[in-house]
Structure 1
Amino acid sequence: MQKESAHFSFGNETEIEDIGGGLKRQMLGYNDELMAVKIWFEKGAIGYNHAHRHSQVTYVVEGEFHFNIDGVTKILRAGDSCYMPPHADHGATCPTGGILIDTFSPPREDFLGE
């Protein structure tokens, strides 16, 4: 599996993967230290609570998201962001439909098929 993405990524040329449950994912760029991913949520879609070893910062591009991080829920809208430390239990619901940019360090190996 490739350990580094191309230097440039064009939205209309980069694969958008349907990951089920009203969610789609597009890889934006990565190497062995960092990964950025665009995620589309359909109206009412749920990113179920989970935890992983990666640090994560999420930026809300559009829509309204109800984020739960370690039992605390906040409503985030376009321009807002949140940080999930390693092993924090987290998830989000999207009552409006929306778009997120997720960044991970180190990269999510499972997103690369590793």
Structure 2
Amino acid sequence: MATLAQPSSEAFVRHDPAQVETVGEGIRREMLGYGPELMIVKVLFDKGAVGEVHAHRHSQSSYVESGRFLVEIDGEKQELGAGDCFYVAPHKDHGAVCLEAGVLIDTFSPLREDFLGEGS
């Protein structure tokens, strides 16, 4: 697992392949930028990868950069593709199945402390 950079006063984030971490079978995650109230995360999915249904206290809005996903939110399912978005209110069950390899850009408010690893 990659060691993630800690928050700093730096305003710019450059892509670093060493910072991409595997978080599940066929799923990789890269932190793009974050502060106490907002986090942006790039999530790369292989075809068939499953983001299991889960819930958390954070508001989440996600943009489908590429690929196709079957997204479930609070029991409702829709197929989404490049350019589509979805919003998940806090504590709502949600998950996604990747139908065609792709990328989600997830935003969270406040930041996901659990994504920062130990010592955060």
State the Cα distance separating 1:11 from its structure 2 match: 1.6
Q: Where does 1:6-85 land on structure 2 (aligned, <5 Å)? A: 6-12=10-16, 15-85=19-89
Structure 1: runs of 5 or more not aligned: none
Count of residue pairs brought into register by the alignment: 114
Q: What is the percentage of aligned positions where both structures have the same residue?
A: 54
Q: Which amino acid aligns with 1:89?
A: D
Match for 1:2: what amino acid?
Q
Q: Which moved more, 1:94-103 or 1:11-20?
A: 11-20
- RMSD after superposition: 1.6
**TM-score, structure 2 normalization:** 0.89
Unaligned runs of 5+ in 2: none
Moved more, 6-15 or 85-94: 6-15
C-alpha contact 1:6 1:29 (8 A) present in aligned 2: no
Length-normalised TM-score, structure 1: 0.93
For residue 7 of structure 1, give the secondary structure of its aligned residue in structure 2.
coil
